[in-house]
């Protein structure tokens, strides 16, 4: 299935939230039956924000693995591994960094966006500027044919494709595959304050939250600012609740909410309660599964060990091919 290979990763920079699930994880689960999927815990990438607290990486990596398994990723159907356990990532990153012009990295849209988003950490590091090079190494080591991305991430993948073309041209051999963007239809899912759902903004609903925490967060969500009073009509399309209703509430209920909100026949508190009930109904099976998985850490680590061993065989062969093309071995 090498011609059908998918590669993607997630940073263990904290607990996974609903944005992570709907933005990537749910899509991964659906792809594992049809593609040769390699999914990795990108702990080296997480050092761009956790360099002052690297001891958190092990804890967060375990939590990410638990969230993956409880959400439906099956180690019998896909390869799950830890980036830092495969030294070929770091070595190929170093090799590629020697041939990537700095202006290519500086024009990366995420570079400025992330600096604006994360205010409490100095993001002006070489590692953060050069993370697209490490990202490229991640992709090409496994000869991935496609990388699942949202439409806003396509420019990042194009930078990787540029780096790949440069390497192949320099050494006159098509060592690395230019991956295609497998564009996912990512639903809009803001945090409880109306901004992008993010751990950095402290506005996320986490997959590891309790029923009580989830209910409390939903009840604290920002709603239509025009509804200052219960008798004021509202507009669901500008309300922060409604995108979640579109995901978690039955279509009939969505229609009822639209009509009732516009006529001020339903209050924001009632609307939040309906969302909390439907959200919990959807999440409870995963929450129960998560408790079961988290209670068996040895099994989780064994899954990652076996997947990492399999992935390293592929990575080792690719790095050897690259160094051979460069005539440095």
> What are the DSSP calls for 249-273, one per residue?
S-HHHHHHHHHHHHTT-S-HHHHHH
CATH topology assigned to domain 2-189+297-326:
Rossmann fold (3.40.50)
Question: Measured between alpha carbons, how far is 168 from 173 in angstroms, rounded to an integer?
Answer: 5
* Residue 206: predicted pLDDT: 97
Question: Measured between alpha carbons, how far is 170 from 98 in angstroms, rounded to an integer?
Answer: 12
* Residue 98: predicted pLDDT: 97
Q: Where in the chain is the domain with CATH 3.40.50.620?
A: 2-189+297-326
The dihedral of CA 292, 184, 189, 134: what is its sign? positive
* Residue 318: predicted pLDDT: 98
Question: Measured between alpha carbons, how far is 255 from 44 in angstroms, rounded to an integer?
Answer: 45
**What is residue 40's three-state secondary structure?**
strand
Instruction: Give me the count of residues in the chain.
Output: 329
Task: Tell me the per-residue pLDDT of 77-114, one tens digit each, with 9 for 90 and over.
Answer: 999 999 999 999 999 999 999 999 999 998 887 776 76
* Residue 6: predicted pLDDT: 97
Question: Measured between alpha carbons, how far is 219 from 217 in angstroms, rounded to an integer?
Answer: 5
**What is residue 27's three-state secondary structure?**
helix
Q: Where in the chain is the domain with CATH 1.10.240.10?
A: 211-290
The single residue listed with the structure tokens 């690259």 is 322
Question: Measured between alpha carbons, how far is 274 from 257 in angstroms, rounded to an integer?
Answer: 10
Percent with pLDDT over 70 in the chain: 97
Model pTM score? 0.93
Query: Is there a catalytic annotation at residue 199?
Result: yes
- Options 77, 173, 182, 196, the catalytic residue: 196
CATH topology assigned to domain 211-290:
Tyrosyl-Transfer RNA Synthetase (1.10.240)
- Options 77, 114, 246, 262, the catalytic residue: 114
Closest of 194, 191, 223 to residue 205, by C-alpha:
191
Per-residue confidence band for 58, with pLDDT thresholds at 50, 70 and 90: very high
Per-residue confidence band for 116, with pLDDT thresholds at 50, 70 and 90: low
The dihedral of CA 89, 90, 93, 98: what is its sign? negative
- Options 26, 143, 199, 274, the catalytic residue: 199
Question: Measured between alpha carbons, how far is 27 from 29 in angstroms, rounded to an integer?
Answer: 5
- Pairing relationship of beta strands 78-82 and 36-41 according to DSSP bridges: parallel
Mean pLDDT of 11-25: 93
Residue 205 has pLDDT above 70, yes or no: yes
Residue 60 has pLDDT above 70, yes or no: yes
Give phi and psi for 146, each to the nearest 5. -150, 150
- 19: tokens are 């944005």
CB 240 within 8 A of CB 196: no
Per-residue confidence band for 197, with pLDDT thresholds at 50, 70 and 90: very high
Residue 1 has pLDDT above 70, yes or no: no
Per-residue confidence band for 195, with pLDDT thresholds at 50, 70 and 90: very high
Burial class (CB in 10 A: 0-12, 13-18, 19+), 325: middle
Per-residue confidence band for 299, with pLDDT thresholds at 50, 70 and 90: very high
* Residue 153: predicted pLDDT: 81
Per-residue confidence band for 156, with pLDDT thresholds at 50, 70 and 90: confident
Percent with pLDDT over 90 in the chain: 82
């Amino acid at each position: 299935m090498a011609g059908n290979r998918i590669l993607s990763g997630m940073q263990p920079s904290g607990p996974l939230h609903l944005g992570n699930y709907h933005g990537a994880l749910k899509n991964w689960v659906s792809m594992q039956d049809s593609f040769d999927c390699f999914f990795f815990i990108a702990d080296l990438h997480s050092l761009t924000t956790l360099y002052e607290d690297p001891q958190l990486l092990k804890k967060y990596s375990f939590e990410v693995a638990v969230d993956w398994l409880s959400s439906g990723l099956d180690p019998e159907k896909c390869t799950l591994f830890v980036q830092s356990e495969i030294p070929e990532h770091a070595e190929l990153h170093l090799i590629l960094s020697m041939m990537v012009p700095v202006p290519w990295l500086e024009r990366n849209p995420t570079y400025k966006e992330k600096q604006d988003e994360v205010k409490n950490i100095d993001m002006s590091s070489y590692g953060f500027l050069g993370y697209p090079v490490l990202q490229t190494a991640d992709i090409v080591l496994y000869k991935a044919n496609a990388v699942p991305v949202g439409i806003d991430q396509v420019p990042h993948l194009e930078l990787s494709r540029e780096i790949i073309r440069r390497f192949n041209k320099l050494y006159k051999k098509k060592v690395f595959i230019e991956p295609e963007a497998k564009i996912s239809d990512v639903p809009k899912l803001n945090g409880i304050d109306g901004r992008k759902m993010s751990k950095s903004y402290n506005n996320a609903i986490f997959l590891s939250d309790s029923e009580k925490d989830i209910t409390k967060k939903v009840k604290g969500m920002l709603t239509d600012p025009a509804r200052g009073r219960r008798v004021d009509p509202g507009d669901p399309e500008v309300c922060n609740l409604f995108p979640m209703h579109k995901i978690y509430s039955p279509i009939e209920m969505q229609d009822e909410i639209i009509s009732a909100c516009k006529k001020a026949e339903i209050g924001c508190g009632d609307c939040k309660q309906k969302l909390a009930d439907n959200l919990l109904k959807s999440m409870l099976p995963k929450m129960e599964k998560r408790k079961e998985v988290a209670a068996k850490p040895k099994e989780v680590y064994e899954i990652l060990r076996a997947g990492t061993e399999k992935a390293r065989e592929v990575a080792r062969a690719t790095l050897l091919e690259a160094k051979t093309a460069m005539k440095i071995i």
